[in-house]
């Protein structure tokens, strides 16, 4: 992306994110991947720089940036550390955004401001063991009681489910209309009855904890209902549109990092008397890798600009997420190929990047779900 297409503010935010990511995150990404501890200090540092409240207005503790600036920053962080890039996207897109658009004044004061300032961390609980892509299949129940609701059920693949300070939990209430059953609740993990059943051992994104969470008669007061009773489905779908832009940005960052490592290696590694970048097979592979990275970034920025203009971009967000996530896995795989046997070793960053990139085709809606969204739009427009 040529700098001339960015505003001065957008360039400043990107450069600030890049400096922090390369100086603070990149040198220790491999060690964090091996240890797997929750990166509380790194997240707090991101918050201190304003990167956890990017889309939140200044009067609520954020920086009030536009969506192009947001995806630029996520790309930079993910290029340095895929796990923290994923957590940044979750924090801004799936937790802070619904609180900004649907939270009450009390909820914004109690949760949104400290989230935006990086003083607390958030989680998002939609998926269940038997309800992934089909949100209508949610089995977690919210039973009406005096002063609020009691939640019972199980959430699966819940990022930050153990270490978060507040979680957005989706559960069903009694209603004849299936679209008016799902309700979003703000639930502190310290609540009695909230328990982490398991922290999953994953292929990648090792410091972004992924949990199975049990909810056993968890009391949630009325003032912790996010939005309206029965309004959770629309809230979730609207939130996932922004979430997909965040995952697309994470994917672009991972793909760019994989390409950069492969390009640098190809400039240094010599075989048959010349640098391997000069072998046509390697040069062509790198050319295709760069093309994928640049194309994914350009379309992502197009979708972000649509959102900045206040235009609906559900289909564009799906296309950006689909193309960027599938490109990230391919580019990361090709980066390993450029490295040869060394690329398969944990001593080289491309091994970690490949593992981190694989999830991008799955979460925030699988590639098949993105294709369903695009196809549905085609069926409407004829």
Helix ranges restricted to H, the chain = 8-20, 29-35, 40-48, 67-80, 82-89, 97-102, 105-107, 113-116, 232-268, 280-308, 314-339, 349-358, 367-381
Q: Kindly list the distances between the CA atom of residue 213 and the CA atoms of 26, 36, 208, 222, in Å, as whole numbers in the listed order.
A: 31, 19, 15, 22
Closest C-alpha to 123, from 101, 153, 93: 93
Distance from C-alpha of 319 to C-alpha of 367, rounded to nearest angstrom: 9
* Residue 150 phi, psi (nearest 5): -120, 125
Active site residues: 364
Q: Kindly list the distances between the CA atom of residue 343 and the CA atoms of 31, 275, 276, 339, 349, in Å, as whole numbers in the listed order.
A: 17, 17, 15, 5, 8
Contact by Cβ (8 Å): 185, 152: no
Contact by Cβ (8 Å): 167, 211: no
């Amino acid at each position: 992306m040529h700098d001339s297409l960015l505003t001065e503010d957008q360039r400043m935010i990107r450069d600030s994110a890049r400096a922090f990511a390369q100086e603070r995150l990149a040198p220790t990404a491999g060690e964090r991947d091996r240890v797997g501890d929750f990166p509380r200090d790194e997240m707090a540092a991101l918050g201190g720089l304003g990167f956890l409240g990017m889309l939140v207005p200044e009067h609520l503790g954020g920086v009030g940036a536009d969506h192009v600036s947001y995806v630029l920053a996520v790309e930079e962080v993910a290029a340095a550390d895929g796990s923290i890039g994923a957590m940044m996207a979750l924090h801004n897109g799936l937790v802070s955004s619904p609180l900004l658009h649907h939270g009450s004044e009390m909820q914004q004061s109690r949760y949104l401001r400290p989230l935006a300032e990086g003083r607390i961390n958030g989680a998002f609980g939609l998926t269940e063991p038997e309800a992934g892509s089909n949100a209508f299949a949610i089995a977690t129940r919210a039973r009406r009681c005096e002063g609020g609701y009691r939640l019972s059920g199980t959430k699966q693949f819940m990022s930050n489910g153990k270490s978060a300070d507040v979680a957005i939990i989706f559960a069903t209430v009694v209603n004849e209309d299936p679209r008016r059953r799902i309700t979003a609740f703000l639930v502190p993990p310290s609540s009695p009855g909230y328990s982490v059943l398991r922290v999953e051992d994953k292929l990648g994104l090792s410091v972004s904890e992924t949990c199975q969470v049990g909810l056993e008669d968890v009391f949630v007061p009325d003032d912790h209902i996010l939005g309206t009773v029965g309004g959770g489905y629309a809230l979730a779908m609207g939130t996932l549109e922004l979430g997909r832009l965040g995952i697309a940005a994470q994917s672009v960052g991972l793909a760019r990092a994989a390409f950069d490592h492969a390009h640098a290696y190809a400039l240094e590694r010599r075989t048959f008397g010349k640098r391997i970048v000069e072998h046509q097979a390697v040069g062509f592979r790198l050319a295709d890798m760069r093309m994928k990275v640049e194309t994914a970034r350009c379309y992502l920025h197009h979708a972000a600009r649509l959102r900045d203009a206040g235009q609906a971009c559900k289909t564009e967000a799906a296309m950006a997420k689909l193309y960027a996530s599938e490109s990230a896995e391919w580019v990361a795989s090709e980066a390993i190929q450029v490295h040869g046997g060394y690329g398969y070793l944990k001593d080289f960053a491309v091994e970690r990047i490949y593992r981190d990139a694989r999830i991008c085709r799955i979460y925030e809606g699988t590639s098949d779900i993105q294709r369903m969204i695009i196809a549905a739009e085609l069926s409407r427009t004829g």
